[in-house]
A = this chain, B = another copy of it.
Amino acid sequence: MTTSAPQPPAVRPEPAVGTGPGYVHGYSPAEARRLGDQADTLAGLLHSGTAYPPGSRVLEAGCGVGAQTVHLLDSSPGALLTAADISADSLAKARARVAAHAPGANVRWHHGDLHRLPFADDSFDHVFVCFVLEHLADPAAALAALRRVLRPGGTLTVIEGDHGTACFHPRGEAAQRVVDHLARLQADAGGDGLIGRRLHPLLADAGFRDVAVSLRTMSADSARPALVENFTRRTFIAMVEAVRADAVAAGLTTPEAFDRGVAELRRAAEPGGTFHYTFSKAVAVNP
A253 within 8 A of B: no
A167 within 8 A of B: yes
List of B residues within 8 angstroms of A223 by Cβ: 200, 211-213
CB distance from A180 to the nearest CB of B (A): 12
- Taken together as a complex, chains A and B put the C-alpha atoms of A273 and B205 apart, in Å, by 12
List of B residues within 8 angstroms of A205 by Cβ: 272
List of B residues within 8 angstroms of A196 by Cβ: 167
Q: Are B169 and A167 in contact (CB under 8 A)?
A: no
* Secondary structure call for the A interface: mixed
CB distance from A159 to the nearest CB of B (A): 15
A118 within 8 A of B: no
Q: Are A222 and B204 in contact (CB under 8 A)?
A: yes
How many residues does chain A have at the interface if contact means C-beta atoms less than 8 Å apart? 31
CB distance from A88 to the nearest CB of B (A): 35
Q: Are A204 and B165 in contact (CB under 8 A)?
A: no
**Per-position binary interface string of chain A over residues 203-234, scored 1 when its CB falls under 8 Å from any chain B CB and 0 otherwise:** 01100000111110101011100000000000
List of B residues within 8 angstroms of A222 by Cβ: 200-201, 204
Q: Are A167 and B274 in contact (CB under 8 A)?
A: no
- Taken together as a complex, chains A and B put the C-alpha atoms of A205 and B165 apart, in Å, by 26
Give residues of chain A (252-287) contacting chain B, Cβ–Cβ below 8 Å.
Answer: 272-274, 276, 278
List of B residues within 8 angstroms of A273 by Cβ: 201
**Per-position binary interface string of chain A over residues 161-195, scored 1 when its CB falls under 8 Å from any chain B CB and 0 otherwise:** 01011011111000000000000000000000010
Residue of A168, A204, A221 with highest tally of chain B CB at under 10 A: A221
A198 within 8 A of B: yes
Known: A276-B278, A278-B276, A278-B278. A197 touches B213 (CB 8 A): no
Known: A217-B217, A278-B217. A167 touches B211 (CB 8 A): no
Known: A221-B200, A272-B204. A167 touches B168 (CB 8 A): no
List of B residues within 8 angstroms of A278 by Cβ: 165, 167, 217, 276, 278
When C-beta atoms are compared, the residue in chain B nearest to A194 turns out to be B171
List of B residues within 8 angstroms of A221 by Cβ: 200-201, 213
Q: Are A198 and B217 in contact (CB under 8 A)?
A: no
CB distance from A86 to the nearest CB of B (A): 27
Among B170, B213, B219, contact of A215 (Cβ-Cβ < 8 Å): B219
Question: Given contacts A169-B197, A197-B276, A200-B272, could you give 18 more A-B pairs where the C-beta distance is less than 8 Å?
Answer: A164-B171, A165-B167, A165-B278, A167-B196, A167-B278, A168-B197, A169-B201, A198-B274, A200-B221, A200-B223, A200-B274, A201-B221, A212-B223, A213-B219, A213-B274, A214-B219, A217-B217, A217-B278
A-B interface, 4 closest residue pairs, ranked by CB to CB distance from nearest: A200-B221, A201-B272, A169-B197, A215-B217
